[in-house]
Amino acid sequence: MKIHPTALVDPHARIGTDVEIGPFSVVGPQAVIGNNTIVQSHVVIEGNVTIGTGNLIGHGTVIGAAPQDLSFSPGRKTKVEIGDNNVIREYSTIHRGNPEGSATKIGDKNFLMTGAHVGHNCALGNSVVIANNCLLAGHVRVDDGAFLGGGSTFHQHMHVGRLVMVQGSSAFGKDLPPFVIAAERNSVFGINVIGLRRAGFSAQDRDEIKVAFKLLYLSGLNISQALEKAAATEFGAAAREFFDFVASAKKRGICPYKTLEGQPPSRP
């Protein structure tokens, strides 16, 4: 364990082996930091925060601060849970949960770039990339392998599906089904084909996802009709995941399809 002499680490904090804590960092009494984690300079870890093994916490990051919610009471027991092998770059902020007993959760192998904000009660899966200055409001869920472009914003209680690719400087208040490319304001433009290939999806799975996308967005059917037709169609697990997501997106609804300027929508 290597703790810089200017760091303030509460004696009640539980620090693993081979942990580095840099200059002027502050670690509170309820913190748990797993083995082989590096905490760089001027980091603040406060409240009930559990950090797994092999993480990098960048300069000036704040983890476990109170949520930015006017209904929050300082006496509530809430927490942050972070898994293993994450890279959280400088000046990111991760707030603890708001409702009593709740948590903000980040899985494994995620990459949060400089200035990312993860609001209270967010839930990030694994291998998610959140680019610079991206803002997640409270209760946002981001599934495995999603890429959120820099400067993008996400409204509270929305859901970003698996392997979604989001263009930078976009804004969303509706759910984004898995495997799509999204941009601008609440707009879906197509399928993340390159991401599917890199993730090892078979040609058959990719083709079925394309068929599912066309059925939902380009068939002229409304969502209920598309789901009904999908239920009567034989799809594999990947395409079925797409429709299961859409069927469960009742709170905020899903982002609509938008054609590229000057190009009419294709038909299945």
Q: Read off the pLDDT of residues 206-239 as tens digits, 9 standing for 90 and up.
A: 999 999 999 999 999 999 999 999 999 999 999 9
What are the residues whose beta carbons fall under 8 Å from the beta carbon of 203, sequence distance 6 or more?
A: none
* AA letter at 259: T
Query: Of 211, 189, 209, which is closest to residue 199 (Cα–Cα)?
Result: 209
Query: Could you tell me the pLDDT band of residue 268, with boundaries at 50, 70 and 90?
Result: very low
Residue 88 domain flag: yes
Q: How many helices (H) and strands (E) does the chain have?
A: 4, 28
Residue 267 domain flag: no
Query: Residue 233 and residue 240: Cα distance in Å, rounded?
Result: 10
In terms of domains, do 239 and 139 share one? no
CA 53 from centre of chain = 19
In terms of domains, do 206 and 151 share one? no
* Predicted structure pTM score: 0.96
Q: Read off the pLDDT of residues 237-267 as tens digits, 9 standing for 90 and up.
A: 999 999 999 999 988 899 999 986 645 454 4
Query: Residue 41 and residue 138: Cα distance in Å, rounded?
Result: 27
Domain extent at residue 152: 2-157
Average pLDDT score over the chain:
96
Percentage of the chain lying above the pLDDT 70 cut: 97
Amino acid 261: pLDDT? 60
pLDDT (average), residues 68-73? 96
Residue 44 domain flag: yes
Q: Is the pLDDT of residue 26 over 50?
A: yes
| Structure-block tokens of residue 134 | 């991206």
pLDDT (average), residues 54-70? 98
CA 240 from centre of chain = 22
